[in-house]
A and B are shown apart, each in its own frame.
Chain A
Amino acid sequence: MQSVVRITPNRDQLAHAGGSVEVAQIALGGVPRGAALVLCSDRQRGGEDGHVLNELAMHGYEGIAATVDGTEGLDTQVSIVERMMERLARRGWHPGEVGVVGFESPIRLAARVGADAGFGALVTVSPTGLVEDGTDGLAGDLPALVSAVATPWLIMVGSCDPSAPAAAVTSLAGVLDERAAKYAQVVRFPGVAADYYQRSTESLELAASFDYWQRTLEWLNAQVEPRPTPLAQAWRDRHAVSAAPAQQVTHTRSHVRQEGA
């Protein structure tokens, strides 16, 4: 007997600059909390994308998911994300109300997506491409790329993931802290590989699989704009809420990093 009601996602092909990709989509009734754009890994083929979308739906996020298998070029991958966002926009979502969650997706894709679109939040689970082949340090082009990210960014890696050596992860965290306009957090789970997000009975993997998901949800809830209800929107329109800040401080400019948009 199934103890949890699951929503079966709609599945269809999404055309993009390089061809088409299968997407799974769950739409919710009422006024959902927000939306999620999910980039799944090869490991999640076979219906796991639907599981992720259901887990998000339990917390009020409707979503769309596609598998970016790494064979496409970066521009094609970005095109897929753009087409997915267009799908969400058709349901009235604007980027600030959308969180992007990527599983073992390229860090350069996350950086591109986080730099431009004005998404509410970015979560990258086990990013690929942190290092150049045969090295432990952060790839040379990444500091400039990740510094340009203008979206709050949560990055989680496993300490036993050979594609995320400690030196590179430490460098990445330092660059984001010093140079990125928005807050970023890098989390390294001990004793697990890149697939820690998958269900497991091994104790460290179980702990990581629970913790990564809790962090993901808290990140989305803290950073993604809630969609206003019709009454909330009407109240906002009446009061022009954002127009008149109540208190202002003249502050030292060197301590301020303004939002990009």
Chain B
Amino acid sequence: MSEYVRDDRDAHQFKINRTAMVDSAVLTMERSRVFDKSWLYVGHESELKKPNSFKTRTLAGRPIIFTRDHTGQIRVWLNSCPHRGAMLCRDRAGNARFMTCFYHGWSFNTAGEQVSMPGDQAYGENFERPGLASPPRLDSYRGFVFASFDPDIVSLEDYLAGAKEYLDLIADQSEVGMEVIEGTHEYSCKANWKLLVENSVDGYHAMSTHQRYFEMVLAARGDKVDISLVGKERGIALGNGHAVVAAPAGSDELLGRPLSDEGKAERAARYASIAAKHGDGWAERLRGSRNLVIFPNLIVIDLVMGVLIRKIDPITPDYMEVTAWHIVPPEEGPDLRAQRLDNFLTFWGPGGLASPDDVEALESAQRGFATHKELPWSDISRGMASTVNTGQDELQMRTWWRQWDELITGEVHPPEEKEPLTHPWSAQRQVLSATDSASQALPAS
């Protein structure tokens, strides 16, 4: 039986041992058993607009270069010179077909090939010239690029399982391809990384933790806020540890400052276009919000008024670094763009009205975990006894933790039995021809 997770189906109790939040040995296990055995989000293809564009970032603690080579292929290289280990590229972003290590001057191109080394005659003619190393697996789903350090991992599509359709719901918002815009949020939090995973799909905390934000929305919208929508969300397990809190249509009237009539008209026209292409049910789903976690550390939050991509990186057991990007339909008009940017700043920004509250809550919890010997268990049981899970319940967190526990301890937790999803969450993406109302499901690949 796992020492970290108590999953009591009879008593409807699910508990997490807080040792998992404070013990450096757990983080060491997470690095080898979770991060080295999962598909991990690298970035979005739209971040690399031209050949030889690059971004440097970290992946499972390793420095990497996320680039397009000169032929346009997406590549991920470990940012360490094969010669003596120095970081090959020390810029955050840029464009370079050739990168030269400042330590001894070895150069490589964006296809990973070594192109020069000073004084190479001293190595002799049979010296094997090393290229750049890469994660063994690299793949992309609708512009979202993932890599894995496990050469034997299942395909990305199999790994994503039910999360795929939630990425479809993001990707379908643009006719020309969603685009990550400039302006990355980077912040840190003195708390265990898993606390932010939980928080990102935790509907229960919203009203108590983010009271200030909702007061701002009420002040901006007056009596036009339809609070009957609150609590109508569903918590849904998507397989392989992925989960989502998905709300029905109407979230655009609940979150963010009010949109202009022009912006509303543009949004309505886009929904009509999506309905024509993919069916009314799909368009209705798209009009709702969703907080998605893709195991282990990718969060995609679509609150209609903006779409956030969040990557969470553990640094120590009580310290994490967070990177967040904003993904948008590039063709949208100025009013919708202004509302998105406003929300990215006022809700999700490190100086906004929501993220700082979350950071404070998580850091408070981490400080509280100093009592973990006296208070060893955290509770994530909400909704375990019911057959239909709302977003206020905690199925989504349990789903993530069960996958974590299986990878860490080997204990297999069967999924919770829940009633099948109903409208609107059951609506499937369809491909409708322009001349024929008959429809067909999206092919699997």
Contact B140 A259 (CB under 8 A): no
Residue of B nearest to A220 (CB): B98
Contact B50 A255 (CB under 8 A): no
Q: How would you classify the secondary structure of chain A's contact residues: helix, strand, loop or mixed? A: loop
Contact A254 B176 (CB under 8 A): yes
Q: Which residues of A contact B142 (CB under 8 A)?
A: 252
Residue of A nearest to B70 (CB): A259
Query: A182 vs B70: C-alpha distance in the bound complex, in angstroms?
Result: 9
Q: How large is the interface on B (under 10, 10 to 19, 20 to 34, 35 or more residues)?
A: 35 or more
Contact B52 A231 (CB under 8 A): no
Check if B120 is an interface residue, CB within 8 A of chain A: yes
Contact A183 B116 (CB under 8 A): no
User: Which of A185, A225, A242, A249 gathers the greatest number of chain B CB atoms within 10 Å?
Assistant: A249
User: Which of A221, A228, A229, A255 gathers the greatest number of chain B CB atoms within 10 Å?
Assistant: A255
Q: Which of B95, B121, B140 contacts A183 (CB 8 A)?
A: B95
Query: A223 vs B53: C-alpha distance in the bound complex, in angstroms?
Result: 11
Contact A251 B140 (CB under 8 A): yes
Q: Which residues of A contact B342 (CB under 8 A)?
A: none
Contact B76 A247 (CB under 8 A): yes
Q: Which of B45, B52, B95, B111 contacts A252 (CB 8 A)?
A: B45
B24-83 interface (Cβ within 8 A of A)? 45-46, 48-53, 68-76
Q: Which residues of B contact A258 (CB under 8 A)?
A: 51, 71-72
A163-195 interface (Cβ within 8 A of B)? 177, 180-183, 185
Query: A185 vs B131: C-alpha distance in the bound complex, in angstroms?
Result: 28
Contact B72 A257 (CB under 8 A): yes
Contact with A along B246-271 (1 / 0, CB 8 A): 00000000000000000000000000
**Known contacts A183-B51, A254-B177, A255-B177; is-contact A232 B98 (Cβ 8 Å):** no
Contact A255 B48 (CB under 8 A): yes
Q: How far apart are B82's CB and chain A's nearest CB, in angstroms?
A: 13
Q: Which residues of A contact B73 (CB under 8 A)?
A: 245, 248-249, 251
Query: A226 vs B98: C-alpha distance in the bound complex, in angstroms?
Result: 9
Interface size on A, residues (CB 8 A): 36
Q: How far apart are B108's CB and chain A's nearest CB, in angstroms?
A: 10
Q: Which residues of A contact B143 (CB under 8 A)?
A: 251-252, 255
Q: Which residues of A contact B120 (CB under 8 A)?
A: 229, 231-232
Q: How far apart are B39's CB and chain A's nearest CB, in angstroms?
A: 13
Q: Which of B72, B98, B129 contacts A223 (CB 8 A)?
A: B98
**A–B complex contacts, Cβ < 8 Å, 16 sampled:** A152-B52, A182-B50, A183-B51, A185-B95, A221-B98, A223-B52, A224-B98, A226-B116, A231-B121, A235-B125, A242-B111, A247-B75, A249-B73, A249-B138, A255-B49, A257-B49
B residues apposed to A, CB below 8 Å: 45-46, 48-53, 68-76, 94-100, 107, 111-113, 115-117, 120-121, 123, 125, 127, 129, 131, 134, 138-140, 142-143, 145, 176-177, 179
